[in-house]
Amino acid sequence: MDTDYLLIAVTALACLIFEKITKRRLTTDQWDYTRDMLMIASMSLLSLVIGTKTSSIIMAFGIIFAVVAMAERLYSSPFWPFLRIALAIAFALVGPRIQFITLGNDSFYYLSSGVAIIATATWLLLCQTFLSEVDEISGLSGHLMAITWVLLWGVSFFLDQGLKDSMWISFAGILLCLIFWSRIGHTYRRLGDPLVYFWSTLIAGTSLIGVSKGVTFATILLPLSLFALPLMEASLGFVGKTFVDSARWRNVSLYEKLVSRGIDHPQAVRLVAAFCMTIGTSVALFQLVPSPWGLKISMTALAAGIVVFLIYVAKNAAPKDQRRPSLWGIFVDNVSLDYVLNKVIFWASQEDDKSYMIVTPNALVAERSRYDYELREAVKSADLSLPDGMGLVWAFKLLGVRIQQRIAGIDFMNNLCEMAENRGMPIFLLGGSKDVVEKASARLNESYPNLKIAGFHHGYFSEERDSDICKLINESGAKILFVGLGVPKQEIWIYRNLKHLKGVIAIGVGGSFDVISGRLKRAPVAWQRFGLEWLYRTIQEPWRLKRIMRLPLFVALVFLTKLGLCNRRMD
């Protein structure tokens, strides 16, 4: 076994060296893809060299599920779920299987062949589903996966049942998580379905390896306990929607509760992972420590973990005025992109006709709101107000408020389109010239082949046609409405017409249609990093210079506000 650990360590070191060599030569997307392939290749190679037939089967099915996930993203078909079910059954037929469960030395529960196959396939599909759902929150799936490998290795080691495959797979999982932590644990990146299905298959299979040793119940409980929190949240949401019909229970999420208390996204992800780890650790202690002390120690550890968690949250929660800070009468929601995406998913899942408004103000919107009453009221009435522009982020920082994340309108739109494609939510495009909106629609279809574009309409229409436009949007069945009429027209249009829209999430996205259609180029990453997107766009559209000339006034007003010489609230 020592030789196996040495080989795993050498493989991990080789991965680290390769990662450092390729980092500067590849783009971010290429580098992430290379690292994903390297992780899968490393685990596959190790299974061939030091693994048994069982671990090779687990690895093979992990690769197959990853390939299916990649194919599913490229080709839309209603048969993909059925294929995954068939593969799960095939895994249960040839791989490790839940044949019996033991709760103690003398207590066994034997399963018939048919029940064992169904139970094993169900367990595999549950692991995949749970990790996939958790991956909706960037970074959380990677954190939970790393914790799972640590606990699985610890239980396998201390049980001392000769679980060679379980130990080496878990140890390799730990080292690869450490080596590729900037990919797996990055709090602003999702693993993606291919990697999720690969790793979740390995976790499910590894937890089943102990079946012949009578430790299946112990190892299955570990990943199940780590997923207990998202499972409970999903169950409460289902009960609230199906039986209680109460919005209070439909959107139960520890992550959202933490963010709503002013805790930023990275901290919230780590806190949720720590909470899940507390549950998993208490379950591991219960399995490892002999009775009657096992239950007492595990409950003590769980209680202590919860107390520490609550104290930390209480100390680190931001004051209320920093959760939705205001500047000259307009508010900004101090939240992360992941929080907003989850909020949109929740709103879109409602079955009523209530519509919602999202605005993306920048520095010029804030400055204009000082004298434009209707714009100020429109932004104030929005359900979400997201900071688009480094100028506004800088202003709040100077005034003592640290904004979690700048959410650029075009980035928000692209993320929403990806989410809408995955969840089958129709979208509608409103704004721009006829040629621009048509090209934007075509480009979105190219980028997101399964995206349902319910319709589009140019932005050159009079107020008298507002009712006709609203009727067109309602009849299209769209759930998400992107409005690209420019500031302040788009905010005011949504503000005036929201009550006429049915079950729509209306979002002002400024000039995003121009960039998506190809009429304008987006600023290079370096310009974005230094907050100079406005300058890059002004170079392409010199007529914006007159508007940009108001930026020095914005800066001056921010300093005057800091000195108390300008009223921060314009209510």
For 194-235, the pLDDT digits (tens) are 999 999 999 888 888 754 333 344 444 555 555 555 555 554
What pLDDT, on a 0 to 100 scale, did the predictor assign at position 405?
76
What pLDDT, on a 0 to 100 scale, did the predictor assign at position 232?
55
Q: pLDDT, tens digit, for every residue of 33-42?
A: 888 899 999 9
What pLDDT, on a 0 to 100 scale, did the predictor assign at position 148?
85
What pLDDT, on a 0 to 100 scale, did the predictor assign at position 258?
78
Q: pLDDT, tens digit, for every residue of 413-449?
A: 888 888 888 778 899 999 888 898 899 989 888 888 8
pLDDT, greater one: 107 or 179: 179
23 pLDDT above the threshold of 50: yes
pTM for the predicted model, two decimal places: 0.68
The mean pLDDT of 23-36, rounded to a whole number, is 79
Question: Do 441 and 354 share a structural domain?
Answer: yes
The mean pLDDT of 449-456, rounded to a whole number, is 87
What pLDDT, on a 0 to 100 scale, did the predictor assign at position 105?
55
Let me know if residue 545 belongs to a domain.
yes
Residue whose pair of structure tokens reads 């080989």 in the numeric block: 7
Let me know if residue 189 belongs to a domain.
yes
**Residue where one domain finishes, among candidates 154, 182, 215:** 215
189 pLDDT above the threshold of 50: yes
pLDDT, greater one: 44 or 544: 44
Question: Do 181 and 87 share a structural domain?
Answer: yes
Question: Do 347 and 294 share a structural domain?
Answer: no
What pLDDT, on a 0 to 100 scale, did the predictor assign at position 343?
80
Let me know if residue 48 belongs to a domain.
yes
What pLDDT, on a 0 to 100 scale, did the predictor assign at position 482?
92
Question: Do 388 and 283 share a structural domain?
Answer: no
Question: Do 198 and 339 share a structural domain?
Answer: no
pLDDT band at 92 (very low <50, low <70, confident <90, very high): very high
Phi, psi of 431 (to 5 degrees): 135, 170
Mutual angle of helices 466-476 and 489-497, in 10-degree steps: 70
Contacts of 116 (CB under 8 A, 6+ apart): 92, 97, 98, 99
Let me know if residue 221 belongs to a domain.
no
Let me know if residue 222 belongs to a domain.
no
| Pairwise CA distance, residues 387 & 406, whole Å | 6
**Residue where one domain finishes, among candidates 289, 318, 347:** 318
What pLDDT, on a 0 to 100 scale, did the predictor assign at position 472?
92
**Residue where one domain finishes, among candidates 215, 238, 257:** 215
The mean pLDDT of 325-347, rounded to a whole number, is 80
Let me know if residue 567 belongs to a domain.
no
Angle at 330 between CA 341 and CA 459, to 5 degrees: 65
Let me know if residue 568 belongs to a domain.
no
257 pLDDT above the threshold of 80: no
Three-state secondary structure call for residue 453: strand
Query: For a pLDDT cut of 90, what percent of the chain falls above it?
Result: 11
Question: Do 479 and 378 share a structural domain?
Answer: yes
Question: Do 165 and 57 share a structural domain?
Answer: yes
By 3-state DSSP, what share of the chain in percent is helix, strand and coil, each rounded to 5?
65, 5, 25
Amino acid at site 334: N
Total tally of structural domains belonging to the chain: 3
pLDDT, greater one: 161 or 377: 377
| Pairwise CA distance, residues 510 & 169, whole Å | 49
Q: For the ranges 174-178, 241-245, 470-474, which has the lowest average pLDDT? A: 241-245
- 50: its two tokens: 């030091």
| Pairwise CA distance, residues 428 & 459, whole Å | 13
What pLDDT, on a 0 to 100 scale, did the predictor assign at position 570?
55
Question: Do 540 and 470 share a structural domain?
Answer: yes
Phi, psi of 532 (to 5 degrees): -110, 25
What pLDDT, on a 0 to 100 scale, did the predictor assign at position 283?
75
pLDDT band at 551 (very low <50, low <70, confident <90, very high): confident
Question: Do 249 and 198 share a structural domain?
Answer: no
The mean pLDDT of 251-256, rounded to a whole number, is 64
The mean pLDDT of 232-245, rounded to a whole number, is 45
CA distances (Å), origin 35, targets 43, 302, 370, 528: 12, 36, 49, 25
What pLDDT, on a 0 to 100 scale, did the predictor assign at position 335?
81
- Write down the mean pLDDT value for the chain: 80
Question: Do 283 and 303 share a structural domain?
Answer: yes
Domain that holds residue 288: 227-318
pLDDT, greater one: 77 or 200: 200
Question: Do 6 and 139 share a structural domain?
Answer: yes
Q: For the ranges 59-73, 294-308, 445-459, 515-529, which has the lowest average pLDDT? A: 515-529
pLDDT band at 134 (very low <50, low <70, confident <90, very high): confident
Q: For the ranges 125-134, 308-317, 513-522, which has the lowest average pLDDT? A: 308-317
The mean pLDDT of 499-524, rounded to a whole number, is 85
What pLDDT, on a 0 to 100 scale, did the predictor assign at position 270?
85
What pLDDT, on a 0 to 100 scale, did the predictor assign at position 433?
87
pLDDT band at 238 (very low <50, low <70, confident <90, very high): very low
DSSP-H helix ranges across 227-253 = 228-239, 247-250
What pLDDT, on a 0 to 100 scale, did the predictor assign at position 237?
47
Question: Do 341 and 295 share a structural domain?
Answer: no
Let me know if residue 463 belongs to a domain.
yes
What pLDDT, on a 0 to 100 scale, did the predictor assign at position 175?
92
